[in-house]
Structure 1
Amino acid sequence: MVDPDATAETKALYANLWAIQQRGFMFGHHDDLNYGRHWQGVKGKSDTKDVCGDYPAVYSLDFASMMDDRFNPQSDWVAQSKQNILAARRRGEVITACCHLNNPLTGGDSWDNSSRAVVAGILKNGSNTQAKFNTWLDRLISFVKDLKDDNGHPIPIIFRPFHEHTQTWNWWGRGCATESEFVNLWRYTVAYLMRGGVHQFIYIISPQSGGADGEDRFTYWWPGDDYVDMIGYDFYEQENPIDFYISLKSLSAVSAKKQKPCAVTETGLEAFSNPRYWTDQILQPATASGVHISFITFWRNKYVGKNEKDTHFFSVFPGHPSEQDFKAFYCDKRTYFSRDLPDMYSPVTGIIVE
C-alpha cells in the first residue's frame, strides 16, 4: 500500500477489495444515502433500498464542499455526510469519496479551466495558492480524523482526488496541467495527508473515457506504483456494452499486472430507459471472460421533487422501467449489495498486504 502506516482495518479492506473482484463485484451509488429522485435528507432512506430492499455495498460521496471555500462547519451537509458515513460503516459497507474542488487560484468552480497556472501555483512553495490548498487539505484531515467506527477505529475510505484527469474540463486535467505537474500534485497531496496523520485512505486514480480503451488509458499520467493503491475508471454513456467490456478487460489486465484492485468509480447512462439495462448493459460485460473488478459505482439520482422533466438520474428508483430487471441484477450471485458482504474490515486468509 501507499501508506506504510495504514491502519489494520484499511489493510483488511484493501485485501477484501482484491478478494471480492475474483468472485464478482459490489454495486455502488453516489450520494445514495443523501437524496434520491423524489426525496432528500431522510435518515435511512435510499432509492436502491426502496427498489430491492437492500442498500448498495458502496456508498460514494464528495468531500469538496467540506474542504474548499464553500466550507461551513455548521452546515447540514457536513453533519449529514458524517451521519451517512457512520451508518454505512455500521452496516459493513465500503465508503469512497471524490473531490470536485473549486479552483484555488481563480475562485471558480471545479470546471474552471481558464488558467494553466493553478497546479503550478499549488506546487510553488510559499504561494497564496499553495496556502489556500493546504488549508483545504487541513479541513479534510480534521473531518476524516473524526470518523471513527463503534470501536473507536478510523473508518477506511477509498479516496479519489483529481479524477478524470485524462480530460480537459477540470483545472487539474490535461487541458490545464502538464504530466509532471499532475504527478507532483498527486504526490504532494498524498504526502501532505499522511504527514497530517491520515492513515485510513486507499488512494485510487480514475481516468475517464466513454469508448473502448486499451491498457495505456489506465496508466495515463501515472504517479507511480508507490503512490497509487487502486485503479479506477470513470465510464459514462455506455450504450454499447461491447465497448464497456473491452475497457473492463483492459482495466482488469492492468490490475492483475500491478497487483492492485480496480473498480469502475463513476458510470451510468443519464435518463436511461432500457428495461433490461442492468442485466444486458452492466452485468454481462462486467462478468464476462477476463473481467475482474471490485465495484461499479453509478452516479447520482438528483433530487427533482415532482419535476419529472429533470433527467439527471443514473440509477434505479421506484417506478423506473428497469425496476424489475434491477431486482434480477440484485439477486444474481455475482453482484454484491450490503447484506451480501463478508466482513470487509477483517483480514482475508491467503492475501498479504504489503
Structure 2
Amino acid sequence: MKKNIPILLLALSLLFSCKKATQEEEQKKEEATTKIAPIDKNATKETVSLYQNLFKLREKGYMFGHQDDLAYGVNWKYEEGRSDVKDVTGDYPAIYGWDIGRIEDNAEKNLDGVPFNKMREFIKQVYDRGGVNTISWHVNNPFTDGDSWDNTPGTVAAILPGGEQHEKYKGWLNNASNFFLSLKGSDDKLVPILYRPYHEFTGDWFWWCKNTTSPEQFKQLWEFTITYFEEKGVHNLIYIYNTSSANVNSKADFMEYYPGDTWADMVSYDIYQGGESAEKTEKFITDTKKLTAIIDEVAQEHNKLSAIAETGFEQIPYEKWWTETLAQSIGNHKISFVLVWRNHGWNEWMNPPKMHYYAPYDGHPSVPDFKDFYNLDNTLFQSNVTKFNLYNTAKP
C-alpha cells in the first residue's frame, strides 16, 4: 500500500493541476468577454449585457427566430400569446423579427399591416420573457417618394449631408428614433434591439443597394445614420452589417462595403431557397455553407457576432428541410441566430396569389422534422435562452 501512495499523490497533483488550468482558461475567456462592448460607447447597461452574453451564448448554439411571430400566422391574426412555432413545438422562438417600414410616414401600421402600437407590445413581451428582438427597416425612397424597391440612381447622394433631401431624411430618422426610444419593458428600461439598417445591400432591388451606391457613399450613409441616432439619445441598438447572398462569392465581396469595426457590432447575410428541384436545393446548401463560413471567419477575425438574418423556403415543400438542409448547411459554425421569414398565410397581393409562409404551422408536413430540429443540441428556442438572463451580467 505504501508503494502506491506516491503514485496516488502524483495522480491527485496532476488532477489538481488540470482543474486549475481549466479554471484559469475559463477565467481568461470570461475576462475577454467582459471587455467586449457595442460600438455605441453610451449603450445602455442592458444593451451591453445582451451583447456580451450573446458571445457566451453562441458557444452553446444558435437562436432560432421568426419574423412577426406573435402578430399573425397561417389562418390567424392577433391572438394573444399565439405563435405558429409555439403551436408546433410548445415553445416560442428565441429571437423575433420586426420591420418598421412606414414609420417614416407616421403611419399607424407598418408595411406588412402590423400596427406599431401592437409591435411595441410584442417587443415588450419578448423582452420581459428574456427573448431577443431584431428590427429591419424597409424605408421608402426619400428621393422619389416611392417604396424601398424604387432603386432610382442618386437616392443615397440626395440624402447625405449637403444633398437636396438631407433634411427630409433626417425627419424620417427622427421618427425611427422616437420609436426606438418608446420600446420599454415592464421594468421601464429601454429594450435592446439588434438593428440591421440598409439590409441586403449587395442585391439590386432597394434604393440603397450596390448597383446604385458606391462603397464610399454606403459607408458615409451608415456612419451618418448611427451618429444621428446617437445624437438623438438612441443607445439601445446593436448594429448589424447585413448583405444578401447575391454578389457575394468571397470574403472580399462580403467586406467591400464594410464600414469598419468601430461602426458595426455584428455581420450577417440573408439567403432564401428559390425552388424545389434538386439543383436548387444543392445551390442553397452550397451557398449557405460558403457564406456561413465567410461570416464565421470575419466574426472571429474582427471579434464580432454573426448571423443568418433572414432565410427560408416558402411553403417548406421538402419535409426534411429543417434537419437535412438548413441545419446541415449551418453545421458547427458558431453563429448567433438564424431567422426565417413571416407566416402571412394566403397572400392575394402576390402574382399569382398563393400561400406565403416560412415556418411550419400545426398540421404542416414538415412538423415532425421541425421538432427534430428543435431538439438538436445546438438550436436554441425561448425556453433555452430565458434562463440565461441575457440582459444582465449573469453567465449563460
Q: TM-score, normalised by structure 1?
A: 0.92
| Amino acid in the other structure paired with 1:54 | D
Higher CA-based Rg: 2
What corresponds to 2:216 in structure 1?
A: 180
Shift of 1:305: 8.2
Range moving further from structure 2, 230-239 or 184-193 = 230-239
Residue by residue, what CA displacement relative to the aligned partner does 1:113-144 show, whole Å, maximum 9, x if unpaired? 1x2221111113373x2122111111111112
Q: Please list, as runs of the form range in 1=range in 2, the aligned pairs for 1:205-220 lying within 5 A after superposition.
A: 205-209=241-245, 213-220=249-256
In structure 2, how many angstroms separate the alpha carbons of the residues matched to 1:329 and 1:4? 38
Tell me whether 1:344 sits opposite 2:379 in the alignment: no
How does 1:193-272 map onto structure 2 within 5 Å? Answer: 193-209=229-245, 213-237=249-273, 239-240=281-282, 241-272=285-316
5 Å-filtered alignment, 1:62-211, equals 62-65=99-102, 67-69=103-105, 71-72=107-108, 77-113=115-151, 115-125=152-162, 127=164, 129-209=165-245
Matched pairs, number: 345
Rate the CA distance shift 1:16–1:213 in 2: closer, same or farther, 3 A.
farther
The equivalences for 1:302-321 within 5 A come to: 302-304=344-346, 310-321=354-365
Quote the RMSD (CA, aligned, Å). Answer: 2.3
| SS of residue paired to 1:297 | strand
Deviations 1:313-354 (A, max 9, x none): 11211121110111111112211000111111122559xxxx
Q: CA deviation at 1:68?
A: 1.6
Which residue does the alignment assign to 2:35? none
Whether contact under 8 Å (2:348, 2:354) holds in the other structure is: no
Distance, in Å, in 2 between the alignment partners of 1:94 and 1:76 is: 19
In the alignment, which residue of structure 2 is the partner of 1:293? 335
Whether 1:2 aligns to 2:44 is no
SS, match of residue 189 in structure 1: helix
Deviation track 1:68-112 (CA, whole Å, cap 9, x = no partner) reads 226238997011101100111111100000000010110111000
C-alpha separation between the residues in 2 aligned to 1:245 and 1:230? 18
CA 1:76–1:315 in structure 2 vs 1: closer, same or farther (change >3 Å)?
Answer: closer
Q: In the aligned structure 2, how far is the partner of 1:211 from the partner of 1:245?
A: 15
SS in 1 for 2:287: helix
Query: Aligned with 2:346: secondary structure?
Result: coil
Contact kept? 1:235, 1:266, Cα under 8 Å: yes
Q: Deviations over 1:136-176 (max 9, x none)?
A: 11111111212112222111000111001111110001122
1:287 Cα shift?
2.9
Structure 1 range deviating more: 219-228 or 297-306: 297-306
Deviations 1:204-244 (A, max 9, x none): 01101169843224313111111101101101117232332
| Cα pair distance change 1:214/1:292, threshold 3 Å | farther
Structure 1 counterpart of 2:328? 284
| Cα distance in 2 between the residues matched to 1:330 and 1:76 | 27
| Unaligned residue ranges in structure 2 (runs of 5+) | 1-37, 274-279
Residue 55 in structure 1 maps to residue 117 in structure 2: no
Native 8 Å contact 1:234 1:266 kept in 2: yes
Output the CA distance in 1 between the equivalents of 2:374 and 2:307: 18
- Between the aligned partners of 1:69 and 1:79, the Cα distance in structure 2 is 15
Of 211-220 and 166-175, the range deviating more from structure 2: 211-220
What letter corresponds to residue 72 of structure 1 in structure 2?
E
Q: CA contact under 8 A between 1:37 and 1:305: conserved in structure 2?
A: no
Q: Which has the higher contact order (CA 8 A, sep 6+)?
A: 1
* Kept in 2: contact 1:25–1:335 (CA 8 A): yes
Structure 1 residues 348 and 287: CA distance shift in structure 2, 3 A: farther
C-alpha contact (below 8 Å) 2:62/2:338 kept by paired residues: yes
In structure 1, list runs of 5 or more residues that go unmatched: none
Q: Which residue of 1 aligns with 2:23?
A: none
CA-CA distance at 1:275 after TM superposition: 1.1
Write the distance in 1 (CA, Å) between the matches of 2:331 and 2:54: 16
The structure with more helix, counted as a fraction of residues:
2
Q: What is the distance in 2 between the residues matched to 1:320 and 1:200?
A: 37
* Identical counterparts, % of pairs: 35
Q: Any idea what SS the aligned residue of 2:124 has?
A: helix
Matched residues in 2 for 1:186 and 1:211: separation?
A: 20
Which residue identity lines up with residue 300 of structure 1 in the other structure? R
Match of 2:32?
Answer: none
- Which residue identity lines up with residue 35 of structure 1 in the other structure? Y
* Contact 1:16–1:347 (8 Å) recurs in 2: yes
